[in-house]
Structure formats: structure tokens, C-alpha cells
Amino acid sequence: MTDLTIVLGNKNYSSWSLRPWLALKQTGAAFKEIVIPLDQSQTRESILRHSPSGKVPALIHDGRTVWESLAICEYLAELYPAAGLWPADRTARAHARAVASEMHGGFAPLRQHLPVIVRRQYPPRELPADVQENVNRMQAIWQDCRKHFGAGGPFLFGSFTNADAMYAPVVTRFHTYQIGLTEGAADYVKAMRAWPAMQEWAEAARNEPWIHSKYEPD
């Protein structure tokens, strides 16, 4: 039997952990989880026991370690080709990889200004211009993917792929901060939040004991 363990930050706050965890769920494989609470005195030491970068997530498969969320998603796509973690069509696949990389390397203003807090919802507020620009670009990406490649289902490329996994923490942020969205983007957020794996993650986040005042001040 395949020996798979994913090392994660706590689910309420760890945006990067959600991505490969969703991809792993999509493979249908059995796996173990190690959850390390973020921002505690022993966090770094605990993560370094599993991940050479000192960051989560990391995947441990048959004794080898893969770190960096996008690298883990790529690895899972290779390990489980039947899971369809990248679209089968080459053009769609190139597009999916581009939007996944754009997410992995970009959108710093949004990531800084709107931290992931899965279990909370806050009243809408005005966004700084650079954050609003990120929101607009993300909605444009989603609309473009849905229009050209999304006919087969509710996700960016029809069925669930690594591109959806990469944007999943944005979906939770848009919900948490009640960001005003176009109809198409709102539909996508709804479909993603209804996805059983997303619901399972949200439920686990709700039940976590750790509360960091840095993220949840009230």
C-alpha cells in the first residue's frame, strides 16, 4: 500500500496547506495527516522535522519528501494520472498550469491584506486599490477559464483540477471578507464551497482549538 503523509498548518489559517490537501483528496488515496499549529514558539522546529524549507505543506511519500504546494500538486498529478489533476487537453493544461503558477507566485497584496480565516465572516469593507486589482484579475482568470474550458462541470476546467486547488484559499477569503463579486465568480465560489472536500476542511477548521489574536483579533 502507498505510504502517504501530508504535513499541514492548522486548517483555519494555513492557505498553502489547503491546496495540496484538496489535490490529495481528489486522488481518492488513503493518507495520514500531521497538523502543526502555526505561529507558536515551537512551530518552526516542528515543521523542520518534516520539511527542509521550514514551511508547510510537505508530502511524504514512501520516504521521499516533496515540499512547496505547487510541486506537491504536480507530484500527485503524476502519481495518480486517473485523478485528472491537470486537464487532458494540452491547451487547457497549459492554461491551467499558467493560472496555477500565477496564483502561486503572485497576488501578494491580497494575500497580505486578507489572511485566510476559514471559520470567520466579516462585514464588507473598502479594499485598497492594489487588493481590488488582485480581486479583479482573479475574477477575470476564473471567467476566462470557465468560458473556454469549463463546459464539463462547475470548476475552472470543468472537473476539479489543481487550478481549483490553487485558488481554493481565495474562495475562502472571498467568503470571509464578503468581497463583492461578479455573478460568474460568485457561482464559482458557491460551487467550490459546496465541494465535499472543501466542506470537510471547513468543518475541521471550525473545530480547531487554536486562536491567534493576530488573525482573529475579536
* Residues near ligand GSH, by CB under 6 A: 9, 14-17, 38, 43-44, 47, 55-57, 68-70
Residue in the structure block whose three cell numbers are 501578494: 108
Which helix (DSSP H) or strand (DSSP E) does residue 151 occupy? none
- What is the smallest separation between the CB atom of 206 and ligand GSH, expressed in angstroms? 18
Q: Supply the minimum distance, in Å, between the C-beta of residue 154 and ligand GSH.
A: 25
Sign of CA dihedral 23, 29, 35, 36: negative
CB-nearer residue toward ligand GSH: 16 or 195:
16
CB 121, min distance to ligand GSH, A = 20
Q: Which residue, 59 or 83, is less far from ligand GSH as judged by CB? A: 59
Nearer to ligand GSH among residue 15 and residue 26 (C-beta): 15
Taking the complex as a whole, how short is the minimal distance between the CB of residue 42 and ligand GSH, in angstroms? 11
Please say whether the beta carbons of 170 and 179 come within 8 A. no
Count CB-CB contacts under 10 A for residue 10. 22
* Residue whose CB is less far from ligand GSH, 115 or 158: 115
Taking alpha carbons only, the member of 19, 12, 49 closest to residue 34 is 49
Q: How far apart are CA 102 and CA 54, in angstroms?
A: 23
